[in-house]
Structure 1
Amino acid sequence: MYDIDMVLEVDSRIVAIFEYKRYQKRYPDYMIPAFEYIALMKFARLLRVVPYIIVEIVEGGQSFHVFKVDRFAPKRELITWKTGRKFAVFPASESEEMDADDLREFITSLAQGGA
């Protein structure tokens, strides 16, 4: 069983898929559970679409980090947390930071064939 958070479909064609995470605070790195990252990559390859990870930050007013993930790149190294759970690490420096209006424009641009 897989969980994909958002699917952008335009004219009966899927153009992008997204994993969505919400953090209360800003961090230099964001840890995405391995099972969610792996599912995102599998479906991106299968559907031949670009996968994105959107991290919402609540602290200091709503903002978003948007990570465009290369579906052809080798799988990211997974780290094992002290609980035994595995995570893929995404440094904030690899993302584009956006406010809610920027995110809306970005998704609209994807729907229109851009980005």
Structure 2
Amino acid sequence: MPWASWLRARVSRREAPFLPDLDWAFVNPASVFASPHDVVRHPRLTIDCKREILQRWAWDEYLLDLANTEGMPESEPSRLEEVKAARRLVNAERSPDPAAPAAFFVLYHWDEALAA
């Protein structure tokens, strides 16, 4: 069973209308979402799911750019930079802030003489 179907089976019928068609989003993300940032802002998608959808969207946009540079007729402008920006946002959700202070541990030495 595809995992998108498994996810729908675990969600109540009341919440089902708010889920995008994940099976189709993995094939053609632009047909399900209006923009890459809609993927980032979707409250029901996991970070891994967002990452996979945006990866596929980036690949589609890369192929569109490649076709345009090879002289094929241009159909629509590429949104590759927009997809890359959305991917950076998703990656920032999972990874810690590198500027955050590091956690430290204080090691205590138990001294029997002081405890008495």
What TM-score bracket applies, with the shorter chain setting the length? Answer: under 0.3
Structure showing greater Rg: 2
Which protein is richer in strand relative to its size?
Answer: 1
Higher RCO, Cα 8 Å, sep 6+: 1
- Provide the TM-score with structure 2 as the length reference: 0.27
Which protein is richer in helix relative to its size?
Answer: 2
- Provide the TM-score with structure 1 as the length reference: 0.27
